[in-house]
Structure 1
Amino acid sequence: LALWTFNDGERTNEPISREHAGNGFLLRAGYTVLWTGWCGDIVEDGEHRLLAGLSVAQGRDGKPITGPNYVEISVDSLTFSQPFFGSPWGTSAAYPSVSLDNETATLTMRKKRTEPATEIPRDQWGFARWEDGRTAPDPTSLYLKDGMKPGWLYELVYTAKDPRVSGLGLAGLRDAVSFFRHAEADNPVAGRLERAVIFGISQSGRLIHHFLYEGFNVDAEEQIVFDGALIHVAGAGKGLFNSRFGMATVYGTAHRGNLSPSDFFPFAPMPQTDPVTGETGDTMARLRVKHAVPKILFVQTATEYWNRAASLLHTDVEGKIDLDVDPNVRLYFIAGTQHLGGGPTDPGICRLPRNPVKHRGPVLRALLTAMDRWITDGTEPPASRYPRIDDGTLVTLETFRKQFPAIPGVELPSMLNQPLRLDLGPRWQEEGIADFVPPVIGKPCNTLVPAVDEDGNELAGIRLPEIAVPTATCLGWNQRADLPSVLSDLDGGYLEFPKTKEAREASGDPRRAVSERYPSRSDFVLKRMNAIEELRRERFLLDFDAVAMIRPATEAP
C-alpha cells in the first residue's frame, strides 16, 4: 500500500520493477520501507501475499478449542454458496464448523438490520460449496438451496473450532519494527533508522488504532516502537485483532457487519464517556501511562462519516459535543471523496454514478511530509481540518436531509452507521471470548455527518479543486440499486451540474448550471488554480503535486 499510495506505483505484492517503484517519492525522501505479515486470515494463493502463520490455540489438555461463533454473509449477486468470509484478497481462512451436520447451528435471513429475521429450515442449507452443479462438503462455506438474495443479511450461528492466537499478529508487528530499529546483530539497517512511522489504509488503519489501544507501542525493553502513525480511512474503528474466533476482515457499515464488534467504546484517542454504560475511556490510555503515545494523523473521506462512524473519533458518543483534540493528534477530513479514492463513474451495484475524485496520493504525500517534520524537528503539521458540531459543519442525518438540494431523481439516505452497544458476555472485555453469540444488542451510538452547501457539497475539511470550484456534487455515500434506502458499503456518488441554464430549467435541478457559475473558461481555470495554490500554501499539497494537478484540474468542465 505504501508504494501504491505515496509513489503512485503499480499495486503488487511483489515490488521488484521500476513500475512498482512509481514516482520514487519514498525512496528519494530517504525512507526505508518495511512490510511485515500480521494477519492470520490470509491464505496462500500464489499471489506473493505476506502471511503471518499465527498459531492455533489449544486447550490445556491439548485438545482442540471449540465454541460458538457468529458469521454474517451478504452477497452482491445471486449466489448458491459463499465462504464464511471474503476479503479484498479473496477468501479468508475462516474458522471451520466442528462438523458438517452441526445440529445446533442456525441460519436466519433479513433484508436489513431493522427488519425481523426469518429462520431458514435446516434442510434448506448446509456447510458446503456449490461447484459444477452439485455440492461439495466444506466446513467453512455456506450453501443455500434457493440461493442468497443480493444485499440480504444471512446470519449463521454455529460451533467453530481451532481459533488462531490473533493477538500474536500485533506482537509480531511490534517486534519486527523494534528489531530493525534497535537491534545490532543480523540487522541490515542497524544504526541507520532515526524514526519510525506506521501507515495503514482502511483495515490496516484500524489495525494501527487497535495496536495503539492495546498498548503495543512499547517493546519488551520498554523502547518506543513508532514515533508517528498515519491512519487513513479507518473511521472510528479498531477491530477483531485480539479475540477468539476474531476475523481481521470484519467491519461494520450502515448496512452490514453491525453485530461483529469491530467498532467499540472507547472510540476516540482522548477521554470519552458513555452516559448509557457509565464507562470512561481513551484509546491511548495504556500508552499514556508509559509515555509512549506517538504523533497521530487520522485522515478520513466523507464515506467514513456515513459508513464508518468517523464522527465518534471526535465527539461524545451521544453526538452532542465536540471533544478536545489531543495535541499529539491531528484530524483531517477530505471533503467530497470516497473511501479508497476516485475511479470510474459507472454505478456498479449502486444507484448513482460513483465518485471519481482522486485524493489519496497528493494529500497523503503532503501529510506524510508534515509527519516527518513533526517527529524530526518538532515543526507542527497543519491544524486539524474536520467537521465540528460547534460551527454547524457536523450535523444529524435529519439536518443533512433538509440541507441537501432537491435534485430530481435523487433519493437521500435514510440510514448511516451507528455502532451498536454490544454485550458479548463476561469474558469479552478481559479475555476476548464471546459467551453471548450473537451478542445482546443495546442502544446505538449517535453518529453525525458533514453539513453541505446549496450544491450538496461538504463545507468543512480539505476541499480539493473539484469541491472548492465544483462542476458536480461529490458524495461520500451511494445507495444500492437492488435494495431501496440501503447504502453501499464504501462507495460515494457523483451528480454532475447541468451544463446550461436551459438544461437546468428543463430538468428542474435547483443547482446553478456550469455556464452560470463560470462565465468563461479563463474564469474557471483561474478559480481552480487559486484553489490549488491555497492547498499548497496550507501544506496540504507539495509543490510538485500542485504543479501536476493544474492540468487535469483545469480541463474544461
Structure 2
Amino acid sequence: MKLEIIRVESAFDDLSFGNIGAYEKVVGRASAEVDPTHPLNAGIINIGKAPTNAAGRVEYWLDFYLLKPADLRRGNRRIFYDVVNRGNKLALNNLNDAPRVNDPSTAADAGNGFLMRQGYSVLWSGWQGDVAEGDNLLRAHLPIAAEHDASIVATSRDEFIFEHTRSPVTVSLSYPANTLDQTAAMLTVRQREQDPRTLLSPEHWHFKSNTRIEINRPGEFDAGAIYEFIYPARDPIVMGLGFAAVRDLVAFMRHDSANADGRPNPLTLDGRPAIDYVFAYGASQSGRFLRDFIWQGFNQDLHGRRVFDGLIATVAGSRKTFVNFAFAQPGRFSRQHEDRLFPHDQFPFSYATTTDPVGGKTDGILARCEASNTCPKIMQTEASTDFWEGRASLLVTDGKGIEIPVPDNVRLYLFASIQHGGGSVAANFPFNQYQPNPAEYGAVHRALAVALDEWVSRGVLPPASRFPRVSEGTLISPAPQSYGFPPIPGVKYPGLVNELSEMDYSVQPPKSIPGHNYLILVPKIDEDGNEVPGIRIPEIAVPRGTHTGWNLRRRGFAEGELVLLGSYFPFAATKEERLASGDLRPSLEERYPTEDDYVTQIARAAEELRNMRLILSEDVERIVNAAAALIKAR
C-alpha cells in the first residue's frame, strides 16, 4: 500500500470540539496491488483475468479522505469508516445532522459535531469502479478483465426509468457494446415489472456510440415505464476488487506504521499505529456493501486479523450488492417497481446460518467469518420502508415465514414508521402521491454508535434487539384484508411489497423459478396506522398523524406502484373537522387537550428512550425543544 498525500488542511474552520480539540483533513490517493492467487482473493470474480505487473500482482488505486484530531493524542484511538454511497460521504449527515457535502470544510459542515466530540478518526475511501469524476466523489480505479489479451464479451442488461416524458432521450450503457449492430441487441418497454414486454423496432432506437443509445419513446407509455436494453457487452470491470481495497486500506491504517515507500501512516503516533478499534458504518447501498463484505469473507485481512470490530448497517434490508459479478452494476438495488431482476438479492438473507426452504441451500451472512473467527459485532437498523421495499422480514424469518434466530453478536432494530433515509430524502422523489414521512432517526443512531463502541471496547451489552417477530404477533401479512390500515379520507392502502422468488440468471432477461416464492411480512400497526414494534421515536410514540413506510407513485409515473418513501397523513386539528371529513382517527384536540400536554408527552417518551440507552441525554433536550417550537409555530 502506497499513500500519496494530496492535501492536509484544517477542518471545520478550526472549530474546537471540547477536549478533542480541532480536526484536520488528509486527502489523498492509495495505490496497491493484490496477489490474485491468495486464497482470500480467490473469490473475486475475474481476478485471475485481470492484468498483472512484473511481480504477478493486480494493481489498482483509490481515493481516500480522512478527518482526524489535529492532535492525535487527544483522539479516541478509533477509526470510524464510513462506506461511501456511489462515492458520497454519509456519516456526517446521518450522525452529525450535518449538510450532505463531499468536502466538509466549514464549521456548519460539522453539524452537531457528534463524531468529532467522540474523538473518532473518520475515514472514507473509494471502492466502486464506475463512479464518475467530479463533485469530490471518492473513486476507485479497478482493472478490466480480459481473456488472452482479448476483450471478454457477454450478454449484459440495463434498465432505465426516466421519470419524465421527453423524447428522444440519450442514455449511457453500463459497459461498452461489443458491436453497433442493432440486430445483436434488444430494447423493450413495459409499464410495470410484471407486464409483458413490448419489443421496440430499430426505428425507435439507435447507437450513438458503443457506450450510449438514443431512444425515441412510444407515446403510449408514461414517465414511469421500464425500458430494458439487452446487448453483447465487453470489458467487465473487476468490481469485486473493491471489497479487497476496503479490507487492505483499513488494515493498513490500523496496523502499519508506514507505507511501502517509507512514508508514515497518518494515523501513527511516535512511529506506532494509534488505532485500537475500527468501526464501519453504511447506509442503503453502503449498508448492503457491508453485509456483502462480511458474507464474502473480507472481514479477515491477509494476516488473519479482524478488519472491522463493529459495524452499523442501516436501511439495507435483506439484500446484498451487485458488485462481485462479471458485469457488475453496483448502483442497482431491487425495489417493487425498479431493478427487480438484478442478481444481488438472493439467499442468504439472515446473519444466522439456515437452510433455505425455497432453494435448498444452506448459508448465512456470518458463515465465513465464523469459520475464521473474524466476525464483528453488528447492528442492523431498518426503516419501515425496508420491509416493504427491502424485504427486511427475511432477516428473522425463512422463506416460508418460520422464525429464525438472531446470533448473539447481532442486534436488529426497526425505526418504527420511518421512511428509508429519513425525512430529508423526500426531495429526491417528485412523483409520489402522498406527503412524504418527515420523521428522522439520527438521534437513535447516535445512541447506538455509543452502545456499539461500549460493546466492542468494554463488553457492555447493547440494548436488546427491537424488531418485529412472528412469535410476538408483530410481523404480519401486508394483505389489505388482514393488515388493518385505518380508513383515511383520500388514502388508498396498496398492500404491495417487493415480492421475491428464486431466480434463473442463466437467461436474459432473468426469469423467476415457478413456485419458488418467498413470503414477505411487514410490521404490525396500531389503530392510527403507526407501527407497534421497534424503536418508536417520540414523534411516533406521541403522533400528530399517521406515518407509514410506503408511498405510491402518482398518475403519469406508473401510478399505484411503490416509491422508496413513506407517507404522512396528519390528524385533523379538531373533532369537528374530523367528523366532517369522515376521519375515524382522533383529532389533535382530542389527543392533546393543551399545548403543554403534547410537549409533556414528548418529553416522557424521550426520557423512556434515554433510560433504554436508545437516545442520548443531549438529544432529549433537542427533541423537547423541537416539540415546543412546533407548538409555538402553530
TM-score normalised by structure 2 residue count: 0.80
Deviation at 1:402, TM superposition (A): 4.0
Deviation at 1:447, TM superposition (A): 0.8
Match of 1:125 among 201, 205, 208: 205
2:357 is the counterpart of 1:263: no
Check conservation: 1:343, 1:354, Cα contact below 8 A. no
Distance 1:84 1:287 in 2: 40
Deviation at 1:382, TM superposition (A): 0.5
CA distance 1:329–1:452, shift in 2 (3 Å): same
Matched AA of 2:501: L
Q: Which residue of 2 aligns with 1:74?
A: 161
Aligned pairs for 1:306-321 within 5 A: 306-318=388-400, 320-321=401-402
Deviation at 1:18, TM superposition (A): 1.9
Q: Which residue of 2 aligns with 1:143?
A: 215
Match of 1:331 among 405, 408, 412: 412
Match of 1:461 among 534, 539, 542: 534
Distance 1:505 1:327 in 2: 50
Is there any run of 5+ residues in structure 1 with no aligned partner, and where? 86-92, 129-136, 426-435
Q: Which residue of 2 aligns with 1:167?
A: 240
Check conservation: 1:79, 1:149, Cα contact below 8 A. no
Distance 1:393 1:379 in 2: 28
Distance 2:524 2:171 in 1: 37
Cα RMSD after superposing both structures: 1.8
* Helix, strand or coil at the partner of 2:380: strand
Distance 1:381 1:82 in 2: 51
Q: Which residue of 2 aligns with 1:415?
A: 496
CA deviations on 1:347-371 (whole Å, 9 max, x unpaired) are 8311111111122x21111111010
Match of 1:507 among 568, 581, 584: 581
Match of 1:22 among 85, 90, 111: 111
Match of 2:142 among 49, 54, 76: 54
CA deviations on 1:161-216 (whole Å, 9 max, x unpaired) are 11100011000000000000011222121321110011111001100100001000
Check conservation: 2:480, 2:495, Cα contact below 8 A. no
Match of 1:304 among 358, 371, 386: 386
Matched AA of 1:80: S
2:259 is the counterpart of 1:187: no
Q: Which residue of 2 aligns with 1:380?
A: 461
Distance 2:178 2:153 in 1: 7
Check conservation: 1:98, 1:139, Cα contact below 8 A. no
CA distance 1:539–1:419, shift in 2 (3 Å): same
Q: Which residue of 2 aligns with 1:428?
A: none
Check conservation: 2:158, 2:174, Cα contact below 8 A. no
Q: Which residue of 2 aligns with 1:134?
A: none
Match of 2:321 among 236, 239, 244: 239
Distance 2:180 2:291 in 1: 37
Aligned pairs for 1:182-261 within 5 A: 182-185=255-258, 186-190=264-268, 191-261=273-343
CA deviations on 1:144-164 (whole Å, 9 max, x unpaired) are 344763111111111111110
Give the total of aligned pairs.
527
Percent of residue pairs identical = 40
Check conservation: 2:355, 2:361, Cα contact below 8 A. yes
Q: Which residue of 2 aligns with 1:156?
A: 229
Matched AA of 1:281: D
Check conservation: 1:259, 1:420, Cα contact below 8 A. no
* Helix, strand or coil at the partner of 2:460: coil
Check conservation: 2:554, 2:560, Cα contact below 8 A. no
2:447 is the counterpart of 1:366: yes
Deviation at 1:399, TM superposition (A): 5.8
Matched AA of 1:64: S
* Helix, strand or coil at the partner of 1:158: strand
* Helix, strand or coil at the partner of 1:343: helix
Is there any run of 5+ residues in structure 2 with no aligned partner, and where? 1-89, 259-263
* Helix, strand or coil at the partner of 2:546: strand
2:123 is the counterpart of 1:34: yes
* Helix, strand or coil at the partner of 1:397: coil
Q: Which residue of 1 aligns with 2:436?
A: 354
Deviation at 1:100, TM superposition (A): 2.8
CA deviations on 1:492-513 (whole Å, 9 max, x unpaired) are 1100011111111111111111
Distance 2:250 2:425 in 1: 37
* Helix, strand or coil at the partner of 2:596: helix
Aligned pairs for 1:417-436 within 5 A: 417-425=498-506, 436=507
Deviation at 1:138, TM superposition (A): 5.6
Distance 1:351 1:78 in 2: 18
CA distance 1:357–1:419, shift in 2 (3 Å): same
Deviation at 1:469, TM superposition (A): 0.8
Q: Which residue of 1 aligns with 2:590?
A: 516
Deviation at 1:83, TM superposition (A): 6.3
CA distance 1:14–1:543, shift in 2 (3 Å): same
* Helix, strand or coil at the partner of 1:160: strand
Deviation at 1:484, TM superposition (A): 3.2
Match of 2:512 among 424, 441, 466: 441
